[in-house]
A and B are shown apart, each in its own frame.
Chain A
Amino acid sequence: MEINDENLFSISIVIIIGLIFISIVRVIYVIYQTGKPLHSKSQKPMSTLIVLGSGGHTAEMINVLSALQKDRFMPRVYVAAATDNMSLQKASVLEDSLVDMNGGKVVSAKFMQIYRSREVGQSYITSIGTTLIAIAHALWLMIKIRPQVILCNGPGTCVPLCVIAFLFKVVGIRWSSVFYVESIARVKRLSLSGLLLYKLKIADQFYVQWAQLQRKYPRAHYVGSLM
């Protein structure tokens, strides 16, 4: 076969179509696998990313963490929005209390800040720019952390992180199990973050605290009140 422009062009098209096809198959596979409980019963601790948020979010997340066995979820990295002053402090109080309990034998937790996609009340137009910056920052954080488990409960900061987790699943960088707990303040409607993660099937498990929501969103699990 002659190596000329026409043939090179055809070969490139075939390769590109092949790659697109493989990607689509891979994405379908990831969507299919998302939400299936993990097979391995390895018992090894799993690196965990915990997304904190202002308002009641951090208080609810601390409640969830208090019920989990800490030696199964480590090392732990806490992430909060750059403009959130209190959340990382509250998390560090929790972690300090664990050190006291174990006599200082705990692997130390990390605390990081992330740029927000959108501040409360920010115009939707400027939000596009800040969202892009937030996504880039989230990507950088996720590449550093590559958690096996992600715990989040609603603040907008969790959406870029969870979307990147999905991309990591597709590309094969890391399979992160994403757990989303909708806030107790959401009784009849999901938050925007919740709606996105539910509809796009990005969360492996989606928890709601009110039975009405579980009826409306049947793939969610009703877990009762955390507070």
Chain B
Amino acid sequence: MGEIEDSENRRMVFVTVGTTLFDALVRAVDTKEFKQELFRKGYTHLLIQMGRGFYTPTKSEAEDGSVAVDYFTFSSSIADHLRSASLVISHAGSGSIFETLRLGKPLIVVVNEDLMDNHQSELAEELAERKHLYCARPRTLHRTIADMDLASLLPYPAGDATPVAKLINRFLGFPDD
């Protein structure tokens, strides 16, 4: 049994909670159920960025029938991890969401049900409706993995600040560029 380390066979799932506390998500991805679904779908590694959470996952090497698990709390930039991921599972912060979509990575957004005034879910649900990502709850995450069809996701068109700039300039009396 060799290490599944060469990049051709390495398919990493990156889980990120940003600067938040989201133990429900970290616990959900650390369950046997969830890891088995990942393995069934051909993923080899699970990397968890756990943020301010208290629950620490169990690290493990790749073994027969399961994924390798690693975790860390924060990093100055998650861009490299996003880039090397085959699938991203993120909290519903707009920064994480758009950083991931701009890199063209398949994304599952998990809304934190413990947050008061959950305006974050509006954005996740709207983008899910437009088929740019999948939306899931911590308890049903493993089913989302089982049922997902990443090929059906639509690429997210890049945003553009020129319309705003135009309106601001016009209002102030500056000429159009």
Using a CB–CB distance below 8 Å, which chain A residues touch chain B?
37-43, 46, 55-56, 59, 63-64, 66-69, 72, 121, 149, 151, 177, 179, 181, 183-189, 191, 204-205, 207, 210, 221, 223-227
- Please give the distance in Å from A124's CB to the nearest CB on chain B: 13
- Please give the distance in Å from B173's CB to the nearest CB on chain A: 4
Q: Mark B133-168, 1 if CB is under 8 A from A, else 0.
A: 000000000000000000000000101111111011
**A56-B95, A149-B172, A226-B159 known; A185+B122 contact, CB < 8 A:** yes
- Closest A-chain residue to B177, C-beta based? A69
Residues in A neighbouring B119, C-beta threshold 8 A: 185-186, 189, 191
Complex contact A183–B168 (CB within 8 A): no
The 9 A-B residue pairs with the shortest CB-CB distance, nearest first, are: A67-B161, A67-B165, A56-B94, A225-B159, A187-B122, A227-B159, A227-B98, A223-B163, A41-B173
Complex contact A37–B163 (CB within 8 A): no
Excluding A38-B173, A56-B93, A184-B123, 18 further A-B contacts by CB distance (< 8 Å) are A37-B172, A37-B173, A55-B93, A59-B95, A64-B164, A67-B161, A67-B164, A69-B169, A72-B169, A72-B174, A151-B168, A185-B94, A185-B122, A186-B119, A205-B167, A223-B164, A226-B159, A227-B94
In the complex, A185→B97 CA distance in Å? 10
Complex contact A38–B172 (CB within 8 A): yes
In the complex, A69→B162 CA distance in Å? 11
- Please give the distance in Å from B63's CB to the nearest CB on chain A: 39
Complex contact B160–A207 (CB within 8 A): no
In the complex, A6→B125 CA distance in Å? 69
- Please give the distance in Å from A26's CB to the nearest CB on chain B: 22
Residues in A neighbouring B173, C-beta threshold 8 A: 37-43
Of the A-B pairs whose beta carbons lie under 8 Å apart in the complex, a sample of 14, sorted by A's number, is: A56-B98, A59-B95, A63-B159, A67-B162, A68-B165, A69-B174, A177-B172, A184-B123, A185-B119, A185-B123, A187-B122, A207-B164, A223-B167, A225-B157
Q: Which of B87-104 contact A (CB under 8 A)?
A: 93-95, 98
Using a CB–CB distance below 8 Å, which chain B residues touch chain A?
93-95, 98, 116, 119-120, 122-123, 125-126, 157, 159-165, 167-175, 177
Residues in A neighbouring B162, C-beta threshold 8 A: 67
- Please give the distance in Å from B15's CB to the nearest CB on chain A: 20
- Closest A-chain residue to B172, C-beta based? A38
- Closest A-chain residue to B123, C-beta based? A185
In the complex, A16→B159 CA distance in Å? 53
**Cβ-neighbour of A224 out of B94, B159, B170, B174 (below 8 A):** B159
Complex contact A187–B126 (CB within 8 A): yes
Residues in B neighbouring A183, C-beta threshold 8 A: 94
Residues in A neighbouring B165, C-beta threshold 8 A: 64, 67-68
In the complex, A215→B20 CA distance in Å? 33
In the complex, A73→B160 CA distance in Å? 20
Residues in B neighbouring A225, C-beta threshold 8 A: 157, 159-160
Residues in A neighbouring B177, C-beta threshold 8 A: 69
- Please give the distance in Å from B160's CB to the nearest CB on chain A: 6
- Please give the distance in Å from A91's CB to the nearest CB on chain B: 16
Residues in A neighbouring B95, C-beta threshold 8 A: 55-56, 59
Complex contact B172–A224 (CB within 8 A): no
**A207-B164, A226-B164 known; A177+B123 contact, CB < 8 A:** no
- Closest A-chain residue to B117, C-beta based? A192
- Please give the distance in Å from B158's CB to the nearest CB on chain A: 8
- Please give the distance in Å from A193's CB to the nearest CB on chain B: 12
Residues in B neighbouring A151, C-beta threshold 8 A: 168
Q: Which one of B167, B168, B169 has the highest number of Cβ atoms from chain A below 10 Å of its Cβ?
A: B168
